[in-house]
Every structure is written in C-alpha cells, then in structure tokens.
Structure 1
Amino acid sequence: MTTITTRTVSYPADGLTMIGHLALPAGAGLRPAVLVGPEGVGLSDVERGRAEALAELGYVALAFDLHGGRYFDDPEEMLARCMPLLADPDRMRDIGHAALDVLRAEPRADPDRIAAVGYGTGGAIALELGRDGVDLRAIGTVNGLITGRPGEAARIRCPVWAGVGSEDPIMPPAQREAFTTEMREAGVDWRLVVYGGALHAFHHPPVDHAAPPGVGHHPRHAQRAWQDIVGLLTECLPLAG
C-alpha cells in the first residue's frame, strides 16, 4: 500500500484560525492538488479521510476548515453559523482563497493543476471559487447546489459536477432547477447526478449526535458519489502529464 504523510496546517481566514488537514502522496515532485471542503458542521474525520484517500491515489489534498477548528454537533448552532455564511459569497470566497493559498504554498502541489470538491457548505465554497474566476481544473459539489450572484457563473473556467439526493429537502427540485439554469445560462460544462432515494448528506456516515430532519446516510450512493468524484478528477486532473 502506498505510504502517505499527513500534517495539520493552521492559517487565518474569516477572522479565525483555521485548522486544515493536508495529505501528501508518497514520492517526490509536483503532483496535482485537490481542495476538499466539509459539510456545514465542520471539518471531521470524514473529510480528513477523503483527503487521505486522494493522497493514496497520488494527489496532494487539503481538507479545509470552516469554523476555526470547531465542529458543530448542535444543528441550531451550525445553522446560526452557516446560514449567514452561505448568504455572503465574499466570505465564502475568502475562506476558499485562504485554503487555496495554503495548498498552493505546499512544495509538492502543482499550482497550475488544482481542483476543488466539497460537501454542503464546502461544496458551495468550491463553486464560489469558480464564480470568482479561479483557475481550477474541476469543481465537484455534493449537496451544495447554491446559486451565485447574477452573471458570475460565467467566470467558471472548468467542468462542474454536482450530486444531490432525490429526497433532499434542503436541496429540493426548485433549488436544483435554479442551479442548473444558472450553469446552463453561463455556458458552463456541467453535470448533475440525482441519487434516487437519498437524503441530504447521504454521503456522510451516521453520526452520534442529533441530525437535522432530512439528513441520512445512503451507503450505496455514498460510494457511487465518491466514484463519480474520482472519475471527475481522473478526467480533468489526470495524475500523468
């Protein structure tokens, strides 16, 4: 099995000291790199594990932080933190850019070959980086189908893949339609996969604290969504070349 290395990285963003998780593949030399954004509850072992899985494939990966090291297991606290954030594209971009700067500063990361993927709030941040014109090779978002300010999606310079559960009450059909309309009108190369029978955060393993209504794990679709993200990276951010 490939040996990877990991380390914690601290950096300022949104008035907080963020604590990210950097995973490096074995070997030496530049490698393509991936930002991994967490759900609104905050960075957890799930996203750290995703970064490590990407490093095992050969990518430099940074699972970035949203809340200054905090994890919100209380849904009301999480919403009080995330709803204003999701309503403020500039704050989301600042958080994304701060993480992107950390990733670009890593000597193993190729600054010209970077993708951004994320879940929920982290996926919304990945999209905002695209709307801000960042030179990304791919954007992937699960559950985070947040529309942006009018016209700014035209700045997206890479393919966008989005995944959502068909029964997700937080990203209902009207939200999915608004997202696809935005992508279509902007001329973006986009895909949307609707996973039948899945709720919000279907990719996330069960948690040991109260979850908001409409949230639930779907093991088969979780694996399928991960395979789809890996496929996106294989297409848009190949490890060779």
Structure 2
Amino acid sequence: MTTVTTRTVTYPADGLTMIGHLALPAGADRRPAVLIGPEGPGLNDFQRRRADALAELGYVALAFDINGGRWFTDPQEMLAHTTPLLASPDRMRDIGHAALDVLRAEPRTDPDRIAAIGYGTGGAIALELGRDGVDLRAIGTVNATITGRPGEAARIRCPVWAGVGSEDPIMSPAQREAFAAEMQDADVDWRLVVYGGALHAFHHPPVDQTVLPGVGYHARHAQRAWSDIVGLLAECLPVTE
C-alpha cells in the first residue's frame, strides 16, 4: 500500500465555508486528479475514505463539501437544503467550480487530467460541471440520474457513467429514461448500469440515524459500483508511473 497524505481544505462556496478532504498519493510528481461529491446529508468519513482509496491508486483526490461542514442527521432538514440546490444548476455549478479550483491549485494535480465522480447530490454537481463545458476526462455518478437544462448536455466532453438501483424510488424508472434520452440526444459517450434489487443510496453503509423511505444499503452492489467507477477511471484517466 502506498503512503497517502491527507489534509483538510477550507474554501468559500454557495455562501458557506466548505470543508473538504484532500488526499495525495506518495511522491512529488503531478498526477491525474478526481473530484468526489458526497450525497445530500454531506461529507462524512465514508467519502473521505473514498478519496484516500483513490490516492492509494495514484490519484490526487478531493472529497468536496456541499453543506458547509454539516452532516444532516434529520432527513427533512437535509431535503430542505438539497431540494432547492438540486433545482438550481447555477448553484450546483458554483459549488463544483469552487472545489475544482481547489483541486487545480494543488501542485500535485495535473490540471489537464481531472475526472469528477459523485453520489446523489454530489453526482448531480459532477454532471452539471460537464454540462457547463468543463474539460473533464470522465464523469461517474451513483444515484444521480438527474437531467439538466435542455441542450446543455451537448457540452459534455467526456464519457459519462451512471449507476442506479432498480428499486430506487427517488431516481425512478421514468427519471432514468429521461436521463438516458438526454445523454443519447446529446451524443454523449454514456453508460447506465441498473443494479438489480438495490434501493437509493445502496452504496452507503448503514448510519445510526433516520433515513428516508426507499433508502438502503446493498453490500454486493456497493462494491460492484465502486469497482465500476475505478474501472471508469482506469479507462479514461489512467495513472502512469
């Protein structure tokens, strides 16, 4: 296992002071980099460990914040924050660009080789960066088959991978179909993987708090989705020693 260095980074976005988690691989050379967006409740140790795991694979990785350092334990409070955010592509882009600026400013980052992945709200932000025409090498999302403003998907310049649970009531079959149509109409290089029997947030291990109906962990599919994302990065953003 390679030596990983981590540090907390603070930066302004969306009127908040965001608190991100930066993980750096061993060495001093420039490396490809990955943004990691968290689900609606916020950035927690689960996504921080995802950044660490990507750094062990040789990437500079920034798990970015969306809630100003907060982790929402009350689902209704979380929805009160995230629902207006998901309805505002411009706000999502501002949050994404602020994190992207932090990642690009890191001396270890190769600014021409960056991908964005995300879960739920963080995945929607990754997609909005693509729709905003950001030069990314890949976009990977879980539980974020959310369509954008008409025509803007044509600005996506990289492959898009999306994973969703077949039994997810939040990312419904109709929503999945609309997302697929958006990607196809825009001539995006896209893939949609539907994980049989999985609910919303199937990737996230159980937490000691109330969750929304239709949310649940699926250990096998969680590992499969992570393997699919690592495979996407290996294909589109390979680490060269």
Q: TM-score range by the shorter chain?
A: over 0.9
Mapping of residues 138-177 of structure 1, within 5 Å: 138-177=138-177
1:23 aligns with 2:17: no
Identical residues among aligned pairs (%)? 83
Equivalent position of 1:194 in the other structure: 194
1:195 Cα deviation (Å)?
A: 0.1
Structure 1 residue ranges (4+ consecutive) displaced by more than 2 angstroms after TM superposition: none
CA deviations 1:98-142 (Å, max 9, x no partner) are 000000000000000000000000000000000000000000000
Aligned residues: 241
Q: Which amino acid aligns with 2:52?
A: E
TM-score, scaled relative to structure 2: 0.99
1:216 Cα deviation (Å)?
A: 0.3
1:25 Cα deviation (Å)?
A: 0.2
Equivalent position of 2:79 in the other structure: 79
Equivalent position of 2:108 in the other structure: 108
CA distance in 2, matches of 1:59, 1:88: 30
1:88 Cα deviation (Å)?
A: 0.2
CA distance in 1, matches of 2:68, 2:105: 20
CA distance in 2, matches of 1:97, 1:116: 11
CA distance in 2, matches of 1:149, 1:220: 34
CA distance in 1, matches of 2:139, 2:73: 27
Equivalent position of 2:126 in the other structure: 126
Q: Which amino acid aligns with 1:208?
A: D
Equivalent position of 1:203 in the other structure: 203
CA distance in 2, matches of 1:204, 1:131: 26
Question: Can you give the 5+ residue segments of structure 1 that lack an aligned partner in the other structure?
Answer: none
SS in 2 for 1:42: coil
CA distance in 1, matches of 2:141, 2:128: 11
Q: Which amino acid aligns with 1:229?
A: I
1:26 Cα deviation (Å)?
A: 0.5
CA distance in 2, matches of 1:204, 1:164: 13
1:89 Cα deviation (Å)?
A: 0.1
CA distance in 2, matches of 1:176, 1:27: 41
Equivalent position of 1:57 in the other structure: 57
SS in 2 for 1:117: strand
Equivalent position of 2:10 in the other structure: 10
1:240 Cα deviation (Å)?
A: 1.6
CA distance in 1, matches of 2:210, 2:64: 24
TM-score, scaled relative to structure 1: 0.99
SS in 2 for 1:129: helix
CA deviations 1:129-187 (Å, max 9, x no partner) are 00000000000000011100000000000000000000000001000000000000000
CA deviations 1:56-84 (Å, max 9, x no partner) are 00000000000100000100000000000
Q: Which amino acid aligns with 1:25?
A: P
RMSD: 0.6
1:28 Cα deviation (Å)?
A: 1.2
